[in-house]
Amino acid sequence: MKLYEYEGKKIFSIVGIPIPKGQVVYSPVNVPGKVVVKAQLLEGGRGKRGLVRVTEDSFSTISDMMKEGISTFLIEEFVSHDREIYISAMMDRESGNPMIIISPNGGINIEESKDVRTFVIPLDRTLMRYDVDAMEKYVGYRGLTPIVQGLLKLLLEYDAELAEINPLAITERGALALDSKVILDDNALFRHEELLNELRREKPASDSYVELDGDIGIIGNGAGLTMATMDLVKLMGGNPADFFDVGGGADMQKVAFAIERVGTNPRVKKIVINIFGGITRCDEVAKGILDGHSKVNKPIYVRLTGTKEDEGKEILTKAGIKVYEDALSAIGDALR
């Protein structure tokens, strides 16, 4: 099983391989300062495809990549470095011993590189100082011990078939793994169930945010309803600025977050909210709308129907927010 870069990096940090600070996101966010936005795809070659971008505007960079259909992003601190090393570990099929493959010139063109060398560490003994000495001498950098130890641990304790760092950047803070490629042996996955759960835990429920170029913000629950709302806005002569699908069973926090996300887009003049309550409860949605609307001071047009509809309507009406009976009239008023 091939792991995503961010999953591989989590294991790197568990085994003591230094990585840059970062966070995984599933929609555009604004991280101040210079950062690296990295599309999380299982294919390599992202650098050449423009899917690894250094930027001071993480929000727009992520919005752009989302238009290409990418949904998961790693945002990392920018680390300047003057050298990139290639290093990986895999089992030598012939001898059954672990081997370290290393090149002083790593980076995106490693396939063409001719200065790759292999160092075998016999399985019947531990890693010795002289093993690492030889590698360090070859690449001209002292300080590979934690990296080599971590990679071997990935092979021997985590059943990795391949653990690759390309590039390993040489920075003022020492060597940092800027990328990860980890393949776990499918036949051994049962031994690592806990780890796999841990890696996958953070993925949130299926919400999604997409930016367009009009001036109406749209929030719906479920892809079908959200798209239908967008189509209605267009049919009625409007132009959507962005949309947020809060997914199924959205709670108050999620709805408030959606309003903030949609509403902080400077192009958005008005926000249309179209919620059909099922598992999603209208009273929760109403509280979320109030909360979100208190932070984003733009006119909102709400259509809210389904489970706990009366409670939801009461909460909003009391706060002076009109609730429309159908999407047509809500959008009609928004476009007036």
**Strand duo 160-171 + 98-103: pairing:** unpaired
Q: How far is CA 267 from the centre of its chain?
A: 25
Count CB-CB contacts under 10 A for residue 320: 6
Instruction: Spell out, one character per residue from 132 to 171, where the chain touches ligand GDP: x when CB under 6 A holds, - when not.
Output: ----------------------------------xx----
Contacts to Mn ion from residues 166-205, by CB under 5 A: 166, 179
Phi and psi at residue 296, in whole multiples of 5°? -115, 105
Residue whose CB is less far from ligand GDP, 78 or 248: 78
Contacts to ligand GDP from residues 99-128, by CB under 6 A: 107-108
Picked from Mn ion, ligand GDP, none, the partner binding residue 79 (CB below 5 to 8 A depending on kind) is ligand GDP
Residue whose CB is less far from ligand GDP, 38 or 192: 38
Stretch that binds ligand GDP, among 37-45, 118-126, 127-135, 222-230 (CB under 6 A): 37-45
Stretch that binds ligand GDP, among 45-53, 125-133, 220-228, 259-267 (CB under 6 A): 45-53
Residue 138: active-site member: no
Closest CA to 203 of 262, 247, 163: 247
Contacts to ligand GDP from residues 199-218, by CB under 6 A: none
Q: How far is CA 316 from CA 172, 229, 286, in A?
A: 55, 21, 6
Picked from ligand GDP, Mn ion, none, the partner binding residue 271 (CB below 5 to 8 A depending on kind) is none
SS3 2: strand
Contact residue for ligand GDP among 16, 45, 174, 204 (CB under 6 A): 45
SS3 89: strand
Residue 86: active-site member: yes
- CA separation for the pair 206, 213 (Å, rounded): 23
* Strand boundaries in 26-132, DSSP class E: 35-39, 52-55, 73-77, 83-91, 98-103, 117-120
Q: Which stretches of the chain bind Mn ion, using CB under 5 A? A: 166, 179
Q: Which stretches of the chain bind ligand GDP, using CB under 6 A? A: 20, 36, 38, 44-47, 52, 76, 78-79, 84, 107-108, 166-167, 178-179
